[in-house]
Structure 1
Amino acid sequence: MALTMDSEIRFVKGVGEARMKLYQRLNIGTVGELLYHVPRSYVDLRHPRSILEAQLGETVPVRGIVASKSGEQRLRKGLSVFKVQVVDDHGDMTLTFFNGKYTVAALREGEEYLFYGRMGGTLLRREMQSPAVYPVQGAQLVPVYSLTAGITSRMLARHVAAALDNLEQAPDSLPPWMRQRYELMDLQQAFRWVHFPSTLEQARQGRQRLAFEELLCLGMGFARLKEGRSSQRACAMEPRDLAPFFHSLPFTPTGAQKRAISQAVEDLCREVPMNRLVQGDVGSGKTLVAAACCYFAFLNGRQSAMMAPTELLAEQHFKTLTGLLSPLGVRVGLLTGSTGAKEKKQIKAALEAGELDLCIGTHALLTGDVSWAGLGLVVTDEQHRFGVAQRMALTAKGEGVHTLVMSATPIPRTLALIIYGDLELSVIDEMPAGRSPVETYLIDSPKRERAFGYIRQHLDRGLQGYIVCPLVEEDPESPMPQGKGAVEWVRQLEQTSFRGYRLGLLHGRMKPREKEAVMTAFSQGEIQLLVATTVVEVGIDVPNAVIMMIENAERFGLSQLHQLRGRVGRGTQRSTCILLSDTQNPETRQRLRTLCKTTDGFRIAEEDLALRGPGDFFGMRQHGLPQMQVADLAADSRLLARTQEAAELLLRQDPTLESCPALARRVERMMETAGAL
């Protein structure tokens, strides 16, 4: 049957009702969503090697004949191993498949296949672990997709081919003049080339056409958000003297902090609601900017709300802001999921009666029974952990509410303009006086015990430290190396290298009260060494903690490592961060060395962007941003200027997109999906 972009995916040949449910896990429900689910990479089978030609450590296709297959060997419950001997005219190799019963059963002795994997073993005894298997005929570029259980890349590629073969002419979102001006192919050719390229250049061109369209839609969507905001009205605040606030501080703010405060106060005095991002490196003093804005709102008789992504961070902000603002008469409250029922009731009543000027909390602030007497300012911290819809849900609790967003994730300015496209930008690019830079070193496992000795020297001097692990627990069923698990690692350390020292454990699966107890003990010095997962990335400020070791550092993005490192160096003591990694990948080691060379988060972000290319720049999906199906916000930053120019030209010619209905629908659908419209 003929298909359209809006046809349900179950009508594609070979899909049906059962597989449609599997596809829904990938957020694929229509033919259009299937076609925009582009390959994340390609397996290049065009130039297979012989067994001896393949270099050790190289990931390549190898052509060989199945000589023999061994029976199943059970290593433990849930883990079985199969061995296959493969030969060609010049040599032989052993293939190992973990839990590969059906893969091995499909191989026929005496037949030739292509085996794609990493060549291991020695010069004389070649080995491959769990290679992908392909027929020899028609060796080509094979698409590799992001998948879910029950769907394979080969199956997905078959369904894409069936969809394209039966697709009516898809309406092209881009007008002809735009395709001509920017040398872009039409939509159907882009789908063919990105899914089934004959060359890598075809794949690049097809993907670039689709990425251009997606970034254009993103830019148009944010232009609509800005346009909508400019038509909104806020209660413009009156100029007030902030001298009492600055005089009460025990330190002198940096020039960057003063500049950000001035920009925000100027926004607060306008009738258009403020929507400002304060972006600053770890420890640069963004909270002070928020405190000044909350005090300014208080002087204008308006309430403020501050939303943090975790209870730990909310509690820390509560302590900090209470210390800064209570002496000035600001009444501060805390509302989180852990707040007792009686206290919750009292806080909600105080907010509704106008007896609290500032309430700090987590998602608990969003519940329907939280009402405000006169909410005028909303501050959200670590914006990338909240959706746009959540930010708007909080501002909807008042009329004409101003918004201030804080983020410590260092992002190159070009990316910030897209990711926070509906916000004005203030950058805090100075560090407060007295902060000592953190010295960072990269080591491997043989030097671990020496590093532990260095950590013990600090603990013996009454100082504290962290050991960060990538996992809460290791998966004993997995045949692949998983990295350190915090739960087991703290037990080992207590019995070996740190016997006699006071160790603590902190991870995301603990109950809020348990986390709070551990953090209180650490901040009071009862715990000397805290073994933790990335839950320490935000919300922990212990100036006495001066040393950190990060296990399996290659498993984290540079920006996340920089965030973690920011937990030390918060006092005047010399501080150290030790990155431990056994990776032999030269690019990964180069990335980790970047962190050793500089503590400037923005420079790290720029280098990370240059080094990593395609990939998830943030190490996590950016919440509140429409889900990107094709474009990569880091790798495609060079496309941004072109798509922004195209958006301006189009909106100048056709502000309502009346001449481009397909593009208008895509923009609306994209922003609705993100909860931004």
Structure 2
Amino acid sequence: MLNQEPISSLKGIGDKTAALFEKLGVYTVADLLAYYPRAYDAFEEPVAIGQLKENSVMAVQSALVKHADLLRFNHMQVVSLQLKDLTGSLQVSWYNMPYMRANLKPGEIYVFRGRVVKKRGRLIMEQPEVFTPQAYGELVHSMQPIYGQTRGLGNKAIVKAQTQALQLRQMEREYMPMELRKRYELAEINYAVEHIHFPADQSELLYARKRLVFDEFFLFLVGVRKLKEKRADKRSSYVMESCEEVARFKEALPYRLTGAQERTLQEVFGDLSGGLVMNRLIQGDVGSGKTIVAVLALLMAACNGYQGALMAPTEVLARQHFESITQLFETYHIEKTPVLVTGSMTAKEKRLAYERIERHEADIVIGTHALIQEKVHYDNLALVITDEQHRFGVGQRELLSSKGGDPHVLVMSATPIPRTLAIILYGDLDISVIDELPQGRQPIKNCVVNTGYRPKAYSFIARQVEEGRQAYVICPMVEESEMIEAENVLDYTKKLRKELPASVTVEYLHGKMKGREKNRIMERFAAGEIQVLVSTTVIEVGVNVPNATVMMIENAERFGLAQLHQLRGRVGRGSSQSYCIMVNCSDEEGTLERLDILNRSNDGFYIASEDLKLRGPGDIFGMRQSGDMEFKLADIFTDANILKSVSEEVNRLLDGDPELEEEEHSQLKRKLDEYLGRNYERLNL
């Protein structure tokens, strides 16, 4: 079977199921093979009832003495049975699954596996899976993959499809040079693909993952190097001069720029007036004042008779940028015109915006991905600014650049990546760092607490709301999972509505919601109509709500420190004191030590470097920390050592054989051409 055949070519996948796979971004067999598990379920030996641990997924083996009971209450049918051994007793229950009573036969031996909870002082296993001892024995010590799912397409269906795809796939020809594989002890590529999906144990998983992570970094960094070579010393068509309007605007601001902002601004202005095309990254911690630097750069372009574009990762943030820039220009009598372009605008609104852009009635264009649509034609685009770089692929950034004749490119990122890694990842860009916060900002007060503190936290949130403030509550999951014990957005919202006064409006937000629905919720929160927002990390990048003063993060142990810091950065944006409450639900050694780094410091760069020291390369079960960055498996924090090694190897390889013309590199050249063609469309690479 050719790997580029549609997913529907697999047995048992019709048009309806194929459409569900497409929701996950899986269109072909190759896409399916590259759709890696998000976690693994390790099957352990059954234990005695007395050894069961609360809030753990475990298995017990027991003979059935009598039929299970079938109970009815509150419009619900519950199948229940009592298991006993010499060490204790366990209640096993299934809700709205009456057929389980007929399936379980007295006198037979079964293995029951599920999550153990404690209710009214008794241990209960709810909704467990049931196996024969023989069937369970075949699973013991194995690692079963758990994939990201969508409604109507469960894990079993995805596992079945993956099994079939691996059996029928067209084997990949090895492209990594043997010498390189030996030096880093890398698995053969087909072995890695098979064992990332179905590892026998953790050592096999780590071995497979190491190879695939190495490849992701390798291909990405070759692309970065090619971009750098393409752009090197490129003369600019847009050489700018300093202008009085920019100086007047800067002087009129009600605050002085920090030393770091001033230094960065001069670096940007130097690029714009220097005669070469600017390709610069501004790294600044959350709240460090990157936006005003961007506004001044856009104003400089406009004052020189050019257009500038600012591309934001979300519609809400794009709208906020547009409103704040419009207000600033009106306040300080700057006669330049901003225009907004977003996907949710009506066809008429878009058409009018496009006409204004093409006729140069708009000096500054602000928007989302809509800015790179084919219908948008710029008259004289000289400066492109992308906000929150890690949310955009290099391809999108380059596509926006292609709207002008090699415009200057400025990238802003609040991801506090240590400089050593930033130089590798953004090798095609010069780097400026804004490493101090504006004066007058009150440092966020932090605390790490256990689950017993929740009632106090809810009371604190209620008091803050009473004083006119707002709060975020972050949960790691959208909905309940049988296998992962973590707070989820939907159930938590219901719980908070009961805990908080009826006058408090509590709503939820998560990544599975439709774009329009997400925008509506965020706009209501920004307008103060919603007091408490329960959300997944979808709000990590997105809005500026100065009135929000509380960030409560459930299951803080499940997030990387860099991500926790990003989440915390959603508060502390106004003049009021802000607070971050991190709820630690783990008693694992080292967790408190890790979270205490956040407790002690609000400095993102310090936190990121400490995080690198604490998280070893084997720590692959925590949540990914580094945004999208075009990687499926690799994480720049967890895999920092691999990233550094790959950077050295890419430079060594391309310095010695820039066009990969040597015979031993022929397969690697084929793979790179395929990768660059797929990821850097229209880049002329």
1:425 aligns with 2:431: yes
1:97 aligns with 94
Secondary structure of the residue aligned to 1:316 is: helix
Change (3 A) 1:411 1:126: same
1:184 aligns with 186
Calculate the TM-score normalised by the size of structure 2: 0.79
Change (3 A) 1:397 1:443: same
Change (3 A) 1:650 1:101: farther
- Larger mean CA deviation between 213-222 and 54-63 belongs to 54-63
2:512 aligns with none
Secondary structure of the residue aligned to 2:573 is: coil
CA distance in 1, matches of 2:72, 2:168: 46
- Root-mean-square deviation (CA, aligned residues, Å) is 4.6
Counterpart residue identity of residue 596, structure 1 = N
CA contact (8 A) 1:115 1:133 kept: yes
Change (3 A) 1:648 1:537: closer
Alpha-carbon displacement from aligned partner over 1:396-451 (angstroms, at most 9, x marks no partner): 33211122122223344465456655443322111112212111234567656655
1:127 aligned to which of 112, 124, 148 = 124
1:300 aligns with 304
Alpha-carbon displacement from aligned partner over 1:551-592 (angstroms, at most 9, x marks no partner): 64648765555445434433555x131426473554766665
Counterpart residue identity of residue 263, structure 1 = E
Change (3 A) 1:208 1:372: closer
CA distance in 1, matches of 2:121, 2:472: 40
Deviation at 1:65, TM superposition (A): 3.6
1:375 aligns with 2:404: no
CA contact (8 A) 2:551 2:568 kept: no
CA distance in 2, matches of 1:73, 1:270: 79
1:49 aligns with 47
1:398 aligned to which of 400, 404, 415 = 404
Deviation at 1:383, TM superposition (A): 3.2
Secondary structure of the residue aligned to 2:585 is: coil
CA contact (8 A) 1:278 1:407 kept: yes
- Larger mean CA deviation between 356-365 and 248-257 belongs to 356-365
Counterpart residue identity of residue 141, structure 2 = Q
Deviation at 1:302, TM superposition (A): 1.5
Change (3 A) 1:212 1:323: same
1:219 aligns with 2:248: no
Change (3 A) 1:546 1:113: closer
CA contact (8 A) 2:288 2:437 kept: yes
Deviation at 1:253, TM superposition (A): 1.7
CA distance in 2, matches of 1:616, 1:441: 21
1:631 aligns with 2:634: yes
CA contact (8 A) 2:117 2:124 kept: yes
1:175 aligns with 177
1:643 aligns with 646
Deviation at 1:262, TM superposition (A): 2.7
Matches within 5 A, 1:481-492: 482-483=488-489
CA distance in 2, matches of 1:20, 1:230: 44
Deviation at 1:626, TM superposition (A): 3.0
- Larger mean CA deviation between 42-51 and 220-229 belongs to 42-51
CA distance in 1, matches of 2:321, 2:657: 46
Secondary structure of the residue aligned to 2:269 is: helix
Deviation at 1:286, TM superposition (A): 0.1
CA contact (8 A) 1:591 1:611 kept: no
CA contact (8 A) 2:626 2:636 kept: no
- Larger mean CA deviation between 300-309 and 124-133 belongs to 124-133
Secondary structure of the residue aligned to 1:431 is: coil
CA distance in 2, matches of 1:20, 1:350: 42
2:532 aligns with 531
CA contact (8 A) 2:69 2:101 kept: no
2:660 aligns with 657
Matches within 5 A, 1:271-670: 273-322=277-326, 327=332, 329-337=334-342, 348-413=354-419, 416=422, 420=426, 422-443=428-449, 464-470=468-474, 482-483=488-489, 495=501, 519-520=526-527, 522=528, 530-533=531-534, 545=547, 547-550=549-552, 552=554, 554=556, 558-559=561-562, 561-573=564-576, 575-579=577-581, 581=583, 583-586=585-588, 592-607=595-610, 610=614, 613-614=619-620, 617=623, 622=628, 625-628=629-632, 630-658=633-661, 659=663, 660-670=665-675
CA distance in 2, matches of 1:488, 1:53: 33
Q: Percent identity?
A: 33
Change (3 A) 1:169 1:433: closer
Secondary structure of the residue aligned to 1:205 is: helix
The count of corresponding residues between Structure 1 and Structure 2 is 656
CA distance in 2, matches of 1:80, 1:95: 14
CA distance in 2, matches of 1:158, 1:468: 39
- Larger mean CA deviation between 47-56 and 427-436 belongs to 47-56
Secondary structure of the residue aligned to 2:578 is: strand
1:137 aligns with 137
Deviation at 1:172, TM superposition (A): 0.7
Secondary structure of the residue aligned to 2:579 is: strand
Change (3 A) 1:157 1:334: closer
CA distance in 2, matches of 1:169, 1:345: 48
Structure 2 residues without counterparts, runs of 5 or longer: 510-514
Change (3 A) 1:126 1:346: closer
Structure 1 residues without counterparts, runs of 5 or longer: none
Counterpart residue identity of residue 437, structure 1 = P
Deviation at 1:640, TM superposition (A): 0.7
Counterpart residue identity of residue 280, structure 2 = R
Change (3 A) 1:415 1:71: farther
Change (3 A) 1:533 1:174: same
Deviation at 1:304, TM superposition (A): 0.9
CA contact (8 A) 2:341 2:365 kept: no
Change (3 A) 1:464 1:298: same
Secondary structure of the residue aligned to 2:653 is: helix
Change (3 A) 1:615 1:267: farther
Change (3 A) 1:61 1:437: same
CA contact (8 A) 1:56 1:120 kept: yes
CA distance in 1, matches of 2:491, 2:59: 34
CA contact (8 A) 1:65 1:111 kept: yes
Counterpart residue identity of residue 604, structure 1 = I
Calculate the TM-score normalised by the size of structure 1: 0.79
CA distance in 2, matches of 1:101, 1:209: 47
Change (3 A) 1:99 1:169: same
Deviation at 1:474, TM superposition (A): 9.5
Secondary structure of the residue aligned to 1:334 is: strand
